[in-house]
């Protein structure tokens, strides 16, 4: 209980500290990015960084004092405390690609894997052998708030092979974290990065901030994300008795390497970009195969090479390492997705197929069903927040003067009066000694928040909330909250079609009544089993990234500093006057279709059958004629790759909106679908000219 309340107060504290930071003209932490590490000797690279830095400090000692990290293992760059004059001077130097302020990032985010089709064996409740088979000898690096190493999720599975010899990482010793006893064949790496946090926020030793100066997880978020990704199977897991079942990650056999770059600051997790860059520098060198990072900044989006997400994942991609970011928690309004570089994967969560219904019962057979995690029935008088709080805004210290507040009431609080989060409202209701909260919020946030440790809370939508208020105005009476019982369904709300491939047919957008389009759910829901045998793949090659970078405004000079060069690779931008629509991305989107245009894609057959024939099927976006050539593609032992061309012809005048279609290639067994998104714009405008150029420069 205390932790949650303090978490709440921490939010206020963070807001007030924000203004203090801005008024102080002290140096800030900057990140200086230099591209690939061409010198393959970390000591020499780091000497070079000191030299660059000394030139803006005038003295080597001052330079050494200001530097936090020298990024020298997997790419080249450094972070240091600089004033704006020094930052500007560095940005002008030969070899420097970008200089940007280290920003403070936020952390984002038992049945998920069943929901996605990876079911447990019904007779034994064990993970099916297929799921166990994949993930063996895959090392997943998790960038987050650390790990709770004693958790059952991170114990060795029987029969795990020794740690792969290619692994160069290690477990670092620190506060309450002894690698000798904590690390094993499952948890094979644990590092922590703290210099950025301490330079930008506060020393961990100050002000009694509870944290561990080690990879140990204080916040809990890192343990949650790591166990979701690679946790071993743990039977009888539950949340205060709810959601009972076997918890396990998507790849329960995979190894875990933890990179702690997020720290609790009075219970609020914050991640310094300088620390996350260091995590990338080490993880790529240690030998992880996949990186999972539920970290990000809210929009506006930043230039790719002025952010840890863009830079870190670009170098990972060049080494064949997949980086998976969270898409952020800022929805459900449109255009709030983050971590969108085309060389990393951005994953959004949807709701789950189970609910936690709670009956709200009153006199005269009054009944409304909300959702909650309450664990026992509550019987008390109901009061609307407007009776006790100024303007019905139910937060602490906002109670009406001259009103006698009776303890033990159930408070009905509308998010439209405020606050918008049930956590804030629970703190408000708790401060007046209420027995429970009924929080009225939008349908899109139907799953109950975990606020019960603060105060038992039932979530209802506006329609239900209005019914309860009408009931209250009629009867002024007692109400009973019936303890939640879990029901599995959710079908009317989110009918994920079970056809195997990803699809958005029939899914409602963000809990509204509008059908979801690719802007709501991207390419669709993932199907992990089908993904093991996709049939065809769209490969992005170095030339595709060069085409992309040229199109967003990077010069050949900068591209050559970042891209792993090989003989015959063409890095020139001038020749590449073609549209970025030709980047070999599996989805096709054209934001500005002025006249007929043709787009090229290349598909590679990765199916078991080398001799196969694929047929195209098209769903045209409204007002666009789509033709595909060829319509049939033949693959053989000698030709596993084929190009095809999509011609788009506008049939209507500009309507200022996007229309959606799809292209599906099928051999009768596999179904390879690409979303097609087109905005006809027969009145030319300049939306194509938004260039992604680096800061300061
Ligand atoms: C930044 O520091 C340098 C000394 O290293 C100093 O000459 C310069 O005036 C400072 N600039 C600002 C804006 O404080
Ligand atoms: C903070 O505490 C750690 C050990 O807990 C110690 O090594 C370090 O020197 C301390 N730092 C400061 C600034 O006091
Ligand atoms: C409540 O429901 C019961 C059973 O359905 C019914 O007999 C009774 O008349 C209802 N009472 C009111 C006030 O509607
Ligand atoms: C606000 O309320 C909290 C909790 O009830 C209390 O600790 C705090 O002193 C109050 N602050 C002010 C400014 O009244
Ligand atoms: C809530 O209960 C506490 C402890 O019993 C009491 O000190 C406080 O005055 C009560 N607050 C209100 C608003 O009733």
What pLDDT score was predicted for residue 573?
Answer: 82
Burial of 409 (0-12, 13-18, 19+ CB in 10 A): buried
What pLDDT score was predicted for residue 493?
Answer: 27
Question: Class assignment of domain 28-101?
Answer: alpha beta
Q: Where along the chain do its domains lie?
A: 28-101, 111-120+132-347, 357-486, 533-681
**Does the annotation mark 74 as catalytic?**
no
**Does the annotation mark 144 as catalytic?**
yes
- Nearest residue (by CA) to ligand 5, atom 4, is 433
CA distance 465 to 441: 8
Name the H helices within 153-307. 179-182, 195-200, 221-230, 273-286
Determine the atom of ligand 4 nearest the C-alpha atom of 396. Answer: 2
Kindly give the distance from the C-alpha atom of residue 263 to the centroid of ligand 4, in angstroms, as a whole number. Answer: 26
CATH T-level fold of 111-120+132-347: Rossmann fold (3.40.50)
- The values of phi and psi at residue 665, to 5°, are -105, 135
Q: What one-character-per-residue DSSP string does 417-478 give? A: TS-SSHHHHHHHHHHTT-SEEEEE--GGG-SPPS-TTTS-EEEE-HHHHHHHHHHHHHH--E
CA distance 162 to 160: 7
Assess contact for 693 and 310: CB atoms under 8 A: no
Q: Do domains 357-486 and 533-681 have the same CATH topology?
A: no
Determine the atom of ligand 5 nearest the C-alpha atom of 399. Answer: 13
- Nearest residue (by CA) to ligand 2, atom 8, is 205
CA distance 394 to 405: 13
Please tell me which residue in 70, 144, 272, 544 is annotated as part of the active site.
144
Please tell me which residue in 105, 108, 201, 221 is annotated as part of the active site.
221
Which candidate, 321, 327, 158, 294, places its Cα nearest to that of 223?
294
**Does the annotation mark 692 as catalytic?**
no
What pLDDT score was predicted for residue 72?
Answer: 96
- Nearest residue (by CA) to ligand 4, atom 5, is 431
| 364 close to ligand 3 (CB < 6 Angstrom) | yes
493: its two tokens: 């709300």
Kindly give the distance from the C-alpha atom of residue 367 to the centroid of ligand 3, in angstroms, as a whole number. Answer: 12
Cα atoms in the 13 Å half-sphere on the side-chain side of 122: 0
CATH T-level fold of 533-681: Immunoglobulin-like (2.60.40)
| 85 close to ligand 1 (CB < 6 Angstrom) | yes
Q: Which ligand is nearest to the CA of 362?
A: 3
Kindly give the distance from the C-alpha atom of residue 206 to the centroid of ligand 1, in angstroms, as a whole number. Answer: 29
Determine the atom of ligand 5 nearest the C-alpha atom of 406. Answer: 14
Collapsed DSSP state (helix, strand, coil) of residue 605: strand
CA distance 674 to 261: 36
Determine the atom of ligand 3 nearest the C-alpha atom of 364. Answer: 13
Please tell me which residue in 55, 367, 420, 512 is annotated as part of the active site.
512
Four-way CATH pick for 357-486: 3.40.50.720, 3.50.30.30, 3.30.420.40, 3.30.565.10: 3.50.30.30
Mutate which of 55, 65, 86 for ligand 1? The one with the most ligand atoms within 8 Å of its CB, which is 86
Q: Which ligand is nearest to the CA of 361?
A: 3
Kindly give the distance from the C-alpha atom of residue 472 to the centroid of ligand 5, in angstroms, as a whole number. Answer: 25
- Nearest residue (by CA) to ligand 1, atom 8, is 85
- Nearest residue (by CA) to ligand 1, atom 2, is 83
What pLDDT score was predicted for residue 369?
Answer: 87
Question: Pocket residues for ligand 2 (CB within 6 Å)?
Answer: 203, 205, 213
| 346 close to ligand 1 (CB < 6 Angstrom) | no
Assess contact for 407 and 430: CB atoms under 8 A: no
- Nearest residue (by CA) to ligand 4, atom 6, is 397
What pLDDT score was predicted for residue 241?
Answer: 59
Kindly give the distance from the C-alpha atom of residue 364 to the centroid of ligand 3, in angstroms, as a whole number. Answer: 7
Q: What one-character-per-residue DSSP string does 606-658 give? A: -SS-SSEEEEEEEEPPTTEEEEEE-SEEEE-SS--EEEEEEEEEE-S---SSE
Name the H helices within 185-307. 195-200, 221-230, 273-286
28: its two tokens: 């800030």
CA distance 653 to 640: 40
- Nearest residue (by CA) to ligand 2, atom 12, is 205
| pTM of this prediction exceeds 0.75 | yes
Question: How many CB atoms lie under 10 A from the CB of residue 370?
Answer: 25
10-residue block means of pLDDT along the chain (697 residues)?
A: 30 26 63 91 94 93 95 96 95 93 78 55 60 74 95 86 94 94 95 96 76 92 88 68 66 93 87 97 97 86 86 94 86 77 84 73 87 85 94 93 92 92 88 94 62 77 91 79 61 26 45 71 80 92 87 88 89 70 90 91 96 97 96 97 96 86 96 94 53 33
CA distance 376 to 433: 18
């Amino acid at each position: 209980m205390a932790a949650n309340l303090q978490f709440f107060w921490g939010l206020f504290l963070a807001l007030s500290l924000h203004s203090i930071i801005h008024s102080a003209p002290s140096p800030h932490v900057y990140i200086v990015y230099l591209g690939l590490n061409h010198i393959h000797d970390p000591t020499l690279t780091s000497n070079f960084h000191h030299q660059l830095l000394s030139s803006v400090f005038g003295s080597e000692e001052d330079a050494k004092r200001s530097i936090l990290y020298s990024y020298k293992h997997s790419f080249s760059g450094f972070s240091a405390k600089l004033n704006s004059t020094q930052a500007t001077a560095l940005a002008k130097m030969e070899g420097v690609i970008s200089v940007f302020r280290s920003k403070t990032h936020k952390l984002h985010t038992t049945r998920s894997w069943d929901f996605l089709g990876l079911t447990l064996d019904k007779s034994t409740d064990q993970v099916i052998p297929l799921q166990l088979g994949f993930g063996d000898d895959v090392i997943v690096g998790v960038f987050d708030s650390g790990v709770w190493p004693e958790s059952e999720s991170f114990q060795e599975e029987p029969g795990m092979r020794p740690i792969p010899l290619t692994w160069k990482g290690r477990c670092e010793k620190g506060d309450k974290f002894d690698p000798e006893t904590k690390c094993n064949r499952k948890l094979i790496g644990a590092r922590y990065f703290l210099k950025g946090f301490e330079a930008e926020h506060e020393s961990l030793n100050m002000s009694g901030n509870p944290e561990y100066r080690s990879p140990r997880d204080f916040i809990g978020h890192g343990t949650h994300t790591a166990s979701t990704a690679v946790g071993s199977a743990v039977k009888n897991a539950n949340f205060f008795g709810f959601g009972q079942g076997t918890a396990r990650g998507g790849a329960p056999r995979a190894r875990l390497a933890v990179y702690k770059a997020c720290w609790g600051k009075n219970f609020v997790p914050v991640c310094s970009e300088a620390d996350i860059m260091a995590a990338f520098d080490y993880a790529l060198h240690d030998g992880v195969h996949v990186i999972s990072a539920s970290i990000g900044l809210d929009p506006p989006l930043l230039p790719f090479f002025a952010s840890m997400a863009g830079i870190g994942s670009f170098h990972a991609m060049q080494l064949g390492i997949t980086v998976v970011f969270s898409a952020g928690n800022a929805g459900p309004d449109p255009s709030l997705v983050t971590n969108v570089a085309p060389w990393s994967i951005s994953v959004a969560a949807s709701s789950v197929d189970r609910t936690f219904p709670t009956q709200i019962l009153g006199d005269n057979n009054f009944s409304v069903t909300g959702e909650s995690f309450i664990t026992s029935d509550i019987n008390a008088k109901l009061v609307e927040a407007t009776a006790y709080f100024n303007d019905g805004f139910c937060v602490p210290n906002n109670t009406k003067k001259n009103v006698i507040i009776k303890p033990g009431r159930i408070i009905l609080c509308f998010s439209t009066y405020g606050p918008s989060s049930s956590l804030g409202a629970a703190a408000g209701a708790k401060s007046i000694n209420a027995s429970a909260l009924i929080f009225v919020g939008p349908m899109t946030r139907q799953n109950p928040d975990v606020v019960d440790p603060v105060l038992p809370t039932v979530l209802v939508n506006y329609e239900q909330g209005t019914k309860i208020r009408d009931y209250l105005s009629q009867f002024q009476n007692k109400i009973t909250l019936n303890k939640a019982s879990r029901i599995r369904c959710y079908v009317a709300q989110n009918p994920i079609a079970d056809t195997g491939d990803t699809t958005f047919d029939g899914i409602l957008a963000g809990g509204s009544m509008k059908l979801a389009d690719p802007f709501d759910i991207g390419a669709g829901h993932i199907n992990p089993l089908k993904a093991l045998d996709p049939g065809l793949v769209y490969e992005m090659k170095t030339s595709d990234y060069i085409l992309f970078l040229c199109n967003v405004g990077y010069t050949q000079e900068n591209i050559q500093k970042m891209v792993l060069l090989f003989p015959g690779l063409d890095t020139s931008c001038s020749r590449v006057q073609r549209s970025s629509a030709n980047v070999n991305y599996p989805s096709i989107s054209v934001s500005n279709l002025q006249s007929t245009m043709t787009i090229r894609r290349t598909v590679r057959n990765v199916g078991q059958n080398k001799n196969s024939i694929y047929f195209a099927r098209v769903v045209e976006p409204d007002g666009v004629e789509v033709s595909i050539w060829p319509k049939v593609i033949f693959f053989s032992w000698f030709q596993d790759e084929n190009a095809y061309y999509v011609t788009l012809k506008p049939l209507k005048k500009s309507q200022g909106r996007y229309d959606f279609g799809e292209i599906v290639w099928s051999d009768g067994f596999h179904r390879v679908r690409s979303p097609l998104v087109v905005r006809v714009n027969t009145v030319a405008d300049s939306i194509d000219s938004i260039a992604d150029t680096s800061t300061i420069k």
